[in-house]
Amino acid sequence: MAEELAGFKHRFVSGSGQEGPTLLLLHGTGGNENDLLPLGRELLPGANLLSPRGKILEHGMPRFFRRLAEGVFDEEDLKIRTEELAGFVEEASERYGFDPGELFAVGFSNGANIAASLLLSRPELLRGAVLLRAMVPFEPEEAPDLSGVRIFVAAGELDHMVPKENTERLVELLRESGAELQVGWQRTGHGLVGEEVEEAKRWLSGAAQPH
């Protein structure tokens, strides 16, 4: 059953402890708050799961921010929606009692893009992120400080929606910001394959270990 907080319909599923990690699950276009719950449980068993539904509708399909065309983002809307999502996360940590310092985003496609936007504009919010099929959300005027933030990027060499050079630019931006990065390329398109889910699971089990 979806709850509502700060304007976001969402699901919160408690894990094995409030002190442990929480996964912020961010769906792709047309998804909802239920879509990534099975993936979150698979990636990090025992984690708390916080899964909001995007508030923007595109032809009736939920998204996290507007776009002007495929691959062309409405940056003004992206900025507003990123701040709204950050506010939601902060309120959710108070409501549900999870440790905000142990938050990892797991985003697919549109969800990965707003997760990347959070990393670039609110670098203090996330301890780490799994970005599945992400693009550069915007070019920051100056690099944020992402030192100590751990990020896994999963990309498809045959992805018709995310050009390879765009993923490479995002990786470059995150590296310039001091993030600890692992990048996994698969010879596949926009959909996920089992090998990269396993790779992300191995990576996250290490990245989410206590400090």
Q: CB pairs under 8 A, 24+ apart, for 98-101?
A: 98/18, 98/22, 98/48, 98/50, 99/18, 99/19, 99/20, 99/22, 100/125, 101/127
| Residues 82/121, Cβ–Cβ less than 8 Å | yes
Nearest to 3 by CA among 63, 64, 50: 50
77 is catalytic: no
Structure tokens at 192: 């996920």
Q: Helix 164-176 and helix 110-121: axis angle, to 10°?
A: 30
Active site residue 51: no
Given the residues 51, 93, 109, 177, select the one marked as catalytic.
Answer: 109
Please say if 16 is a catalytic residue.
no
Give the helix, strand, coil percentages of the chain, each rounded to 5: 35, 25, 40
Query: Distance between CA 194 and CA 211 in Å, rounded?
Result: 29
Name the catalytic one among 35, 51, 117, 159: 159
Q: Which residues are catalytic?
A: 109, 159, 190
